[in-house]
């Protein structure tokens, strides 16, 4: 059985690690790489860096931050926010990223998914989806950090993305993000039932039990955690032990 991955998610604005609620009302938490190193040392299986205002202002400052992280973090890193071209992806992969996550530019130009997957392999191409519920069992794709509607249905977009070459899906619930109310299980289940590529649940993790629910009821391959780690409400080690106690297979980590 595949090991469930515990991923620390770092949302970045400029040079700062930030955190919002529903992706808005951003508060500065501190230095991204100090937190990254701490989560690495706690045994995070991967890191995700998201530049949350990059697509808004049409720029990307992540290259330097990732290059800094690559100096002393030795687990896979996914980087997203403002990637518009194969060249942007190349720059981030050369800076130490292992995968790139694309949202806004993929909606505007779905060919970008195929171009990145062909150039670097599907395993490099993560589709980032910001989902907002619009009806019973219906979710709409949002871009620009939960600000812009697209009219796209999440399930249709997921299927199209996989057909175009997406190797993994980062699924963020805008409704739950930053609320600590737990993951949007119906959303997660609707996506994991539809596709065979790995799905990372993001948005809403308030306590270790939420992770168990996302895995056992939602069927995800990985969970992204931000708020719960940033405010030290739990360590990656606490969450790993909760997973093991619930019979979920995770990476064994000696330093726990």
Among this protein's residues, is 140 annotated catalytic?
Answer: no
Find, among 179, 176, 188, 177, the residue nearest to 212 by Cα.
Answer: 188
Q: Which of 255, 173, 254, 250 is nearest to 2 (CA)?
A: 250
The contact set with another protein (CB under 8 A) reads: 2-3, 5, 40, 43, 45, 67, 70-72, 74-76, 93-98, 121-123, 167, 196-198, 221, 251-255
Element containing residue 85 per DSSP (H, E): none
Residue 215 phi/psi, 5° resolution?
-80, -50
Shortest distance, position 182 Cβ to another protein, whole Å: 25
Phi/psi region, residue 30 (left: phi>0; alpha: psi -120 to 50; beta: rest), is left
Closest distance between another protein and the C-beta of residue 231, in Å?
Answer: 24
Which residue lies nearer to another protein by CB, 60 or 145? 60
* Distance in angstroms (rounded) separating the CA atoms of residues 91 and 76: 16
Q: Closest CB to another protein among 161 and 167?
A: 167
Task: Select 27 or 118, whichever has its Cβ closest to another protein.
Answer: 118
Q: What share of the chain is helix, strand, coil (3-state, %, to 5)?
A: 35, 30, 35
Q: How far is the CB of 197 from another protein (least distance, A)?
A: 8
Judged by CB, which is closer to another protein: 233, or 251?
251
Residue of 50, 46, 37, 142 whose CA lies nearest to 92: 50
Helices (H), the chain: 32-42, 54-57, 62-69, 86-94, 104-108, 111-120, 154-164, 185-192, 208-216, 227-230, 236-245
Listed in sequence order, the residues at least 6 apart from 231 whose beta carbon sits closer than 8 Å to its beta carbon are none
The reply to whether 46 belongs to the active site is no
Q: Least separation, in Å, of the C-beta of 71 and another protein?
A: 6
Contact by Cβ (8 Å): 12, 51: yes
In the complex with another protein, which residue's Cβ is closer, 90 or 133? Answer: 90
Q: How far is the CB of 37 from another protein (least distance, A)?
A: 12
Q: Which of 130, 140, 144, 184 is catalytic?
A: 130
Cα 35 from Cα 37, distance rounded (Å) = 5
What are the residue numbers of the active site? 11, 130
């Amino acid at each position: 059985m595949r090991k469930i991955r515990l991923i620390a998610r770092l949302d970045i604005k400029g040079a700062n690690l930030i955190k919002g609620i529903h992706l808005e009302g951003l508060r500065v938490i501190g230095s991204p790489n100090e937190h990254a190193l701490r989560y690495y040392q706690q045994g995070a299986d991967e890191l995700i860096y998201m530049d949350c205002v990059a697509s808004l202002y049409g720029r990307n400052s992540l290259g330097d931050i990732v290059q800094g992280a690559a100096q002393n973090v030795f687990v896979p890193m996914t980087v997203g926010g403002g990637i518009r071209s194969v060249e942007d992806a190349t720059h981030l992969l050369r800076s130490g990223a292992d995968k790139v996550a694309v949202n806004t530019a993929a909606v505007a130009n779905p060919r970008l998914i195929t171009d990145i997957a062909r150039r670097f392999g599907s395993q490099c191409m993560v589709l980032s989806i910001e989902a907002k519920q619009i009806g019973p069992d219906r979710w709409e794709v949002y871009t620009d950090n939960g600000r812009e509607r697209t009219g796209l249905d999440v399930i249709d977009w997921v299927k199209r993305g996989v057909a175009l070459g997406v190797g993994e899906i980062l699924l963020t619930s805008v409704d739950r993000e930053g609320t600590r109310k737990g993951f949007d299980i119906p959303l997660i289940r609707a996506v994991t039932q539809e596709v065979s590529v790995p799905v990372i649940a993001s948005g809403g993790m308030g306590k270790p039990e939420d992770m168990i629910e996302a895995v056992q009821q939602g069927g995800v391959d990985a969970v992204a955690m931000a708020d719960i780690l940033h405010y030290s409400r739990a360590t990656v080690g606490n969450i790993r032990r909760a997973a093991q106690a619930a019979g979920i297979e995770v990476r064994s980590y000696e330093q726990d």
